[in-house]
Structure 1
Amino acid sequence: MELDLRHLRMVVAVAESGSVTKAAAVLGIAQPALTAQLNRIDRALGGSVFVRDRNGARSTELGDLVLRHARVLLPAMATLTDDVQRLVNSQDGDPGALRVGVAGSGLGGLFVNRLHSALPGADVTTVLPRGDDLGGALACGTIEVAVTGMCSDAPPPASESVTWTRVSTDPLFVLLHEGHEYADKPEVTLAELAEEQWLSVPDHSCLASCFVSACVRAGFAPSAVGEADWTTAVDQVRTGRAVALVEPGQPDPPGVRAVPLTGAPLRRTHYLGWRRDARGLLDTELIEDAAFRAHRDAVARSPQYGLWLERHPNIG
């Protein structure tokens, strides 16, 4: 018997579940059938892949070797299948499916909207890769396109197989409740907010350390920066209990106002990425155009941000 991908999927399922019984349920086959297949795999390889006893299944040294290869081969084959299907669909005039990974960028929703408009009939979906590892997700074919935001001028995740294009560099504003003494100012300095409790949306970049550094340069040490999702942050700011770092380019929710920080001490750079070998499968010019249009959409729906950009033409 020769091993095929079906056998590798069985080995991975048993290793990940730690039990033949559980793996059989995951694979949708009967336990005796899976046990028989594992025995055939052992005979084909000339050794046992797992030690199986009442405590479950544990991979042997041979099993570890098989697993290392399986975890490369299975994603590679899935990527090949997806790429072939996408190429066939594009030749038939069917745009097919496009999975977009988004992490740390407020442009994600607007970008996907633009893709829907530019690719009518395409199945455009958003994906949140595990651990925000967009570079890895692109490289292994889990997603086709990615939008990510990095702190200041930090580069995106490096990968020989991924191309990144800078879409924009934007300042971070501070979200204040509408009754705050600085809510109606055109700009506010970090030093003027030295006594505030700060919040930020969970971020995978170096924003927290950059924020502390900016505060120290402004002459004070901030209170610890808390994290909150967007809705929770807005609710906290609206009551006056905190202020929050936010990306501009979205309408202010009721009761709060986004105010620019003087000198733009904190910035976020948005990048668009795709696999280098996907150029024949994706219209990268169209996708780039959708990203740049998404940023213009963000500016257009925030008049205050548009005015700020006019005053600071070298940023953005």
Structure 2
Amino acid sequence: MDLELRHLKTIRAIADAGSLTGAATALGVAQPALSAQLKRIERTLGGELFQRSRQGVRPTALGEMVLERVRVLLPTVRELQEEAVRFTQATQGMPRLRLSGTHGPLLGGVLDRLAGSHPSAPVTTHTSWSEREIASMVIEGRVDFALIGACGQSLPPEADRLVWREIGIDPVFVMLGNGHPLAGRTEIDLHELAGESWADVPGDGCFADCFAAACARAGFTPASVYETDTASCVHLVQVGRAVGLCRATFPPTPGMVTVPLAGVPLKWRHLIGWHSEAPAAEAAPEVVAHARAAHAEAAERSVSYAKWLAAHPDEEGGGGGHNARAGAD
């Protein structure tokens, strides 16, 4: 077996974690598979790299020698990759872009605008419910830009390591089936929905806590909250099983309406982030501009949001893009 880059990363992960269990978790593989891979690597290198004990693992003399080389080689390979991408950018214009985002219309809008502006530049996407996972992927260089949301004024993940720009701030609306008694209202007080079941998409930010706090201020505790994918949330609303929580930019959908909550008890901030030292950072101004334009277009497509904006022209964060930032340039 010839050594590959992934084998060197495995050796470093085991040394950094201090145990096979910790390394398996960090690498996202099963521990038996990791143990088998380590044995193959050790056979290739001619001896044991780690001494196993109940306390974990620690490098042998051979392991220390190998780790010394690994910690030089891996950064060198990463620098080679970054230099190659920078060279390609300098000679070919807009680079290949990798976008990652939470589920919602904004990611599709940005992709559409980039594809229209640079039809020959490949753009790939990745979606996840986890804002933290997406931010980690940017730090690790697996994606170039993160499109996420944050509740209220909470900091985005990795705020001290990534550059974040605010795309817009939207009020949170409720989704009601067409047959719901309150479906014809122009706005609803949160306490009027005290007896309802709720549907919302999952996430690892603070939105669930903010929603619970808003309900407490309104004098009730939600009877139940179904955390599921967007399509399932819509279905639960359409059949009258639950009312849903959504961003004001949620697109028009048959069988249901979106209605503002009186007093704006919850807000959603759209953010885009990147690593200031990544090769794709040079494209950040254009990507941010496309994201803000996509957000504005999504707001225009929502009839209920357009009416709300007309009635609340001075409301803070009423759909506009802002220049707030978290993290260093």
Give the TM-score of the pair, scaled to structure 1: 0.80
Q: Name the stretch that deviates more: 13-22 or 78-87.
A: 13-22
Q: Corresponding residue for 1:295?
A: 295
Structure 2 unmatched runs, 5+: 15-19, 25-30, 320-329
Q: Corresponding residue for 1:38?
A: 45
**3-state SS, counterpart of residue 59 of structure 2:** helix
Alignment of 1:175-254 (within 5 A): 175-254=175-254
Question: How far, CA to CA, are the matches of 2:65 and 2:159 in structure 1?
Answer: 26
For 1:240, the aligned partner's letter is G
Q: Corresponding residue for 1:28?
A: none
Question: How far, CA to CA, are the matches of 2:129 and 2:188 in structure 1?
Answer: 37
**CA deviation digits over 1:117-151, x for unaligned, max 9?**
23321211112469542332222211111111011
Distance 1:186 1:12, change over 3 A: same
Q: Corresponding residue for 2:57?
A: 60
For 1:262, the aligned partner's letter is A
Offset at residue 21 of structure 1 (A): 8.8
Question: How far, CA to CA, are the matches of 2:272 and 2:156 in structure 1?
Answer: 9
Offset at residue 106 of structure 1 (A): 4.3
Q: Corresponding residue for 1:120?
A: 119
Q: Name the stretch that deviates more: 123-132 or 204-213.
A: 123-132
Q: Name the stretch that deviates more: 72-81 or 163-172.
A: 72-81
Question: How far, CA to CA, are the matches of 1:66 and 1:96 in structure 2?
Answer: 38
**CA deviation digits over 1:254-281, x for unaligned, max 9?**
1111111111111111111111113775
Offset at residue 210 of structure 1 (A): 0.9
Alignment of 1:73-84 (within 5 A): 76=75, 79-84=78-83
> What is the Cα-based RMSD across aligned positions, in Å?
3.4
Offset at residue 11 of structure 1 (A): 3.4
Q: Corresponding residue for 1:55?
A: none
Question: How far, CA to CA, are the matches of 2:11 and 2:296 in structure 1?
Answer: 49
Q: Does 1:304 align with 2:296?
A: no
Q: Corresponding residue for 1:111?
A: 110
Offset at residue 166 of structure 1 (A): 0.8
Q: Corresponding residue for 1:91?
A: 90
Offset at residue 253 of structure 1 (A): 1.7
Report if aligned partners of 2:197, 2:225 keep a CA contact under 8 Å in 1: yes
Q: Corresponding residue for 2:273?
A: 273
Distance 1:188 1:137, change over 3 A: same
Offset at residue 84 of structure 1 (A): 2.0
Tell me how many residue pairs correspond in the alignment.
295
Alignment of 1:153-164 (within 5 A): 153-164=153-164
Distance 1:269 1:75, change over 3 A: farther
For 2:119, the aligned partner's letter is P
Q: Corresponding residue for 1:45?
A: none
**3-state SS, counterpart of residue 276 of structure 1:** coil
Report if aligned partners of 1:13, 1:23 keep a CA contact under 8 Å in 2: no
Report if aligned partners of 1:49, 1:60 keep a CA contact under 8 Å in 2: no
Question: How far, CA to CA, are the matches of 2:102 and 2:64 in structure 1?
Answer: 33
Question: How far, CA to CA, are the matches of 1:265 and 1:70 in structure 2?
Answer: 55
Report if aligned partners of 1:79, 1:140 keep a CA contact under 8 Å in 2: no
Report if aligned partners of 1:49, 1:59 keep a CA contact under 8 Å in 2: no
Distance 1:100 1:204, change over 3 A: same
Structure 1 unmatched runs, 5+: 26-30, 43-47, 53-57
**3-state SS, counterpart of residue 222 of structure 1:** coil
**3-state SS, counterpart of residue 87 of structure 1:** helix
Distance 1:185 1:7, change over 3 A: closer
Q: Name the stretch that deviates more: 248-257 or 287-296.
A: 248-257
